[in-house]
C-alpha cells in the first residue's frame, strides 16, 4: 500500500460521522427536539394564562352596567315621579281653590237648573238719605242669576266695579223708595240694568234680594 493511500484511509477514519449515520453501523441518532418543545409549551402557557386573566377580568373586575331595559325603566320611573309631583302640586292648588269661603266677605256660587249659576254677594251696607237728616243705613244681600258659568266668571272679574256701582246707587236711595212691593220691584230692575251695563255684552237674568234691612 502506498503512502498516499494510507494517509487518505487515516483521514477517513478520523472524520466525524455524517448526520443519519451511526458511528459504528450507520444507524440514525435521535435528533435534538428539546428546544422546539419548550417553545410550544411556553406559547400554550401564555395563551392559557392570557385567556384566564381575561375571563377573570370580565367576571370579577369589569364594571357592571345595568341592562338597557333597566336603565330605560329607571329613567321612566324618574319621569313618572316628576309627573306625579307636578300632579300633586296642581291638586293641592285646586283643593285650596275649592276650600269654603266666608260668605260675609267673599262671593259664593251655587248651581241652579239648566246650567244656571247663582252668584251671591256678601252683605252690602251703605248710608242712605233720611227725611229728618238722621243717619240711616241700608243693608242688602243680593244674588245674581247667571245664565252660565262664563257670566259668573265675568262677574268675578268685574267685582270691584259692581261693588262701586252698588255703593253709589244705594247712597241715592231714600226710605220711601224702598216701601212696598212696588219699591222692591223697582230696586231689582234698577240694579239689574246697572249691572248688565258693566257686564255687556254678557248679562245676568235677574236680581234676587235675599235680605234688605233699613236702620
Q: What is the pLDDT of residues 90-124, one digit of tens each?
A: 333 333 445 576 778 899 999 999 999 999 999 99
Cα angle 55, 56, 60; round to 5: 125
pTM recorded for the entire structure: 0.54
**What is 108-214's CATH topology?**
Tetrahydropterin Synthase; Chain A (3.30.479)
pLDDT reported for residue 105: 86
In terms of Cβ atoms closer than 10 Å to its own Cβ (0-12, 13-18, 19+), residue 140 is buried
Closest CA to 166 of 117, 113, 121: 121
Q: What is the pLDDT of residue 56?
A: 46
Q: Which helix (H) or strand (E) holds 168?
A: helix 159-171
Alpha carbons 194 and 204: distance in angstroms, whole number: 11
- What confidence score (pLDDT) does residue 132 get? 80
Q: What is residue 209's three-state secondary structure?
A: strand
Q: What are the cell numbers at 86?
A: 307636578
Low-confidence ranges of the chain (pLDDT < 50): 1-8, 10-11, 13, 18-30, 44, 47-48, 55-61, 79-80, 82-97
Q: For residue 93, what pLDDT is reported? A: 35
**To the nearest 10°, the Cα dihedral for 67, 72, 77, 83?**
170
Q: What element of type H or E holds 208? A: strand 206-214
What pLDDT score does 4 carry? 47
Amino acid at each position: 500500500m502506498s503512502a498516499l493511500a494510507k494517509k487518505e484511509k487515516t483521514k477517513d477514519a478520523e472524520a466525524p460521522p455524517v448526520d443519519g449515520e451511526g458511528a459504528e453501523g450507520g444507524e440514525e441518532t435521535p435528533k435534538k427536539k428539546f428546544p422546539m418543545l419548550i417553545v410550544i409549551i411556553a406559547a400554550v402557557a401564555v395563551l392559557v394564562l392570557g385567556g384566564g386573566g381575561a375571563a377573570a377580568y370580565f367576571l370579577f373586575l369589569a364594571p357592571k352596567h345595568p341592562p338597557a331595559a333597566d336603565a330605560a325603566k329607571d329613567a321612566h320611573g324618574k319621569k313618572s315621579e316628576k309627573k306625579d309631583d307636578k300632579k300633586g302640586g296642581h291638586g293641592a292648588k285646586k283643593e285650596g281653590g275649592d276650600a269654603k269661603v266666608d260668605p260675609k266677605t267673599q262671593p259664593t256660587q251655587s248651581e241652579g237648573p239648566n246650567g244656571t249659576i247663582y252668584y251671591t254677594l256678601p252683605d252690602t251696607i251703605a248710608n242712605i238719605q233720611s227725611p229728618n237728616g238722621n243717619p240711616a243705613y241700608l243693608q242688602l244681600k243680593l244674588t245674581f242669576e247667571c245664565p252660565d258659568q262664563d257670566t259668573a266668571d265675568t262677574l268675578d272679574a268685574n267685582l270691584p266695579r259692581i261693588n262701586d256701582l252698588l255703593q253709589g246707587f244705594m247712597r241715592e236711595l231714600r226710605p220711601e223708595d224702598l216701601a212696598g212691593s212696588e219699591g222692591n220691584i223697582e230696586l231689582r230692575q234698577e240694579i239689574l240694568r246697572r249691572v248688565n251695563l258693566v257686564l255687556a255684552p254678557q248679562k245676568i237674568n235677574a236680581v234676587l234680594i235675599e235680605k234688605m234691612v233699613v236702620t
